[in-house]
Amino acid sequence: MPSSRFIVPEGNQTMPPPPGPSTTSQKLSHALPLPFHLMAAGMSTVGSVVTAVAAHVLDGPVKESWNLATSVVVAGMRSVMVSHPPQGRHSMSIIRGVTSRLTIPFAVVGARGEYVDVSVKNPHHLTEAVRKVAGMAPVKYDRDVPSVRNIPAEWVVHKSIDASQIGNSPIVLYLHGGAHIFLSPRTHRIITSEISRVCRARVLALDYRLIPEHPFPSAVEDALAAYCALINQQSHGFSSTLSVPTTTTPNRIIIMGDSSGGCLTLQLMQTLKTLDIPLPAGAVLLSPLVDHSVTSPSWAQNFHSDFMALDPAGLSWALDCYAGEVGRTHPLVSPLFGDLTGLPPLLIQAGEAEVLADDAKKLHSKALSCGLWCELQIYKDMFHVFHTFPTQPETTATAFNEIGTFVSRTLSPQNCHIVFPRSLRITCMSGKVTEERLPTGEICIASHRKLGGSPDLERRDSGIITM
């Protein structure tokens, strides 16, 4: 078999060598020259989709609420994942090549956009500040260090927001997902435009650095620089500004992220807390990856109902690449093992049928044990980051509206959260939305009162609410 095309970048000397593909079909497919591999992968995807359509029609959908379009999308995405494990000879060149060029036009999602840069002065001081938070050794610089580094980003504003209102609108700092390896703000405009609409906010989507070239904590550095630029914070020897000057106060900022971007959201807030930089008003996490040890039962239980059919050996290799010199269970690499005390209110949304469902539930329990205001919403039958796909419009609309409600309450000047944090299983079927309360464990009443809660809301029984 030809050798891997991966080259260990100069910036990632801790990157382990990739394992070989796990299955015989993967070995054969990635041993072929690229054109023949593409043909084989394409035929496999077509076969998977045809099989999914036949199974949906003859035996019914994999999940009760799935329509035919959902079955087709999940089957197609699963096939692509199976055909391109992270360690495959052609995987990185194909996936990076496609996703780096994939751009959803602003007009398609009904938004206005503007490309900007986050300019960081003295970026080596930024690096040292974050490494110190992570307990990592200082970097030894053996050559001249650039005094300025630019991080690409884009502003996204939904067209329903009048231009005269933009200056007074809140800001969402959005950190996209993609397993730390691929995707960009351009691929996430369906999400960022809807977030702008339901939150009546400007969205700054950051194009942070990815692995394998840039392991932890590179992405955390970029996110920290973007946040500090928004609040005009200059400390710890570095400063950052936006190429189009825009500043606001922390209590007008919400940080959001999906999948690995949800992980980065928590990493950023933990870093802000340690560096004594003012925290944002709140955060929203969509299908967050918060445990890089990959030990949650839902990885196996939901393997066949989610498109995240990642090769176990390839997934482990990719996560080892991301963790770099500190390891996957480091409390800042895997926020589930970190100290969440003192963080702002959180909203967690995940699909019941996705491999990261248990990560969301564990994070919710951890947040409550740390005294946070945290609401968990599990959407019945839904897969990983279902917000991106238009196949279940009723469910995605409900999820986005819940995000808008959370942001509205969080940014309200009257009070933070008088509503008791909920733990819900949300079902959207046949034009009806129902909420079933899930067990939440103990709530930190003192923290709840501090956020504006009232004693009569301290305990609630489980029940069904029909909306």
3-class DSSP state for residue 53?
helix
Does the annotation count 387 as an active-site position? Answer: no
* Options 154, 221, 352, 354, the catalytic residue: 354
Segment 270-297, tens digit of pLDDT: 999 999 999 999 999 999 999 999 989 9
Query: Residue 146 is which amino acid?
Result: P
Instruction: Tell me which residue has tokens 């496999």.
Output: 44
Q: What is the DSSP string of 272-330?
A: HHHTTPPP-SEEEEES----TT---THHHHTTTTSS----HHHHHHHHHHHHTTS-TT-
State both tokens at 157.
């504003």
pLDDT at 456: 32
pLDDT of residue 145: 76
Q: What percent of the chain has pLDDT over 90?
A: 60
- Told to judge if 408 belongs to the known catalytic residues of this protein, a careful annotator would answer no
- Asked whether the beta carbons of 189 and 156 are under 8 A apart, the reply is yes
pTM above 0.95, yes or no: no
Q: Roughly how many angstroms between the first and final C-alpha of the chain, as a whole number? A: 57
Dig out the tokens for 135 from the structure. Answer: 């307990």
3-class SS at 396?
helix
Q: How far is CA 298 from the centre of its chain?
A: 18
Domain boundaries, the chain: 24-101, 111-466
Burial (Cβ within 10 Å: 0-12, 13-18, ≥19) of residue 144: exposed
User: 111-466 belongs to which homologous superfamily?
Assistant: Alpha/Beta hydrolase fold, catalytic domain (3.40.50.1820)
Name the strands in the sheet holding 171-175, side by side, starting at the edge strand that comes first in the sequence: 239-242, 111-121, 148-158, 202-206, 171-175, 253-258, 282-286, 346-351, 374-379, 423-429, 432-437, 464-466
Does the bond joining 212 to the residue before it have cis omega, within 30 degrees of 0? yes
C-alpha dist (Å) from residue 200 to 68, 131, 244, 407, 431: 33, 35, 20, 9, 26
DSSP state letter for 248: -
163 token code pair: 């231009």
Residue among 180, 384, 387, 448 flagged as catalytic: 384
Per-residue pLDDT of the chain (467 residues; tens, 9 = 90+): 333 333 333 344 456 666 655 566 666 666 777 787 788 888 988 999 999 999 999 999 999 999 999 999 999 999 888 887 777 777 777 888 888 888 999 999 999 999 999 999 999 999 999 999 999 998 877 667 788 999 999 999 999 999 888 888 999 999 999 999 989 999 999 999 999 999 999 999 999 999 988 999 999 999 999 999 999 999 899 999 999 888 899 999 999 999 999 999 999 999 999 999 999 999 999 999 999 999 899 999 999 899 988 878 888 888 999 998 899 999 999 999 999 999 999 999 999 999 999 999 999 999 999 999 999 999 999 999 999 998 989 999 999 999 999 999 999 876 555 456 678 777 777 667 788 877 654 333 333 333 333 333 333 332 222 22
Predicted confidence at residue 1, as pLDDT, reads 30
Of the candidates 71, 218, 259, 260, the residue annotated as catalytic is 259
At 128, is the secondary structure helix, strand, or coil? helix
Q: Is 298 a catalytic residue?
A: no
Q: How many CB atoms lie within 10 A of CB 75?
A: 22
Check residue 99 and give its pLDDT: 81
Spatial contact of 21 and 85, defined as CB atoms under 8 Å apart: yes
CA distances from 126 to 55, 220, 224, 225 (A): 53, 10, 8, 8
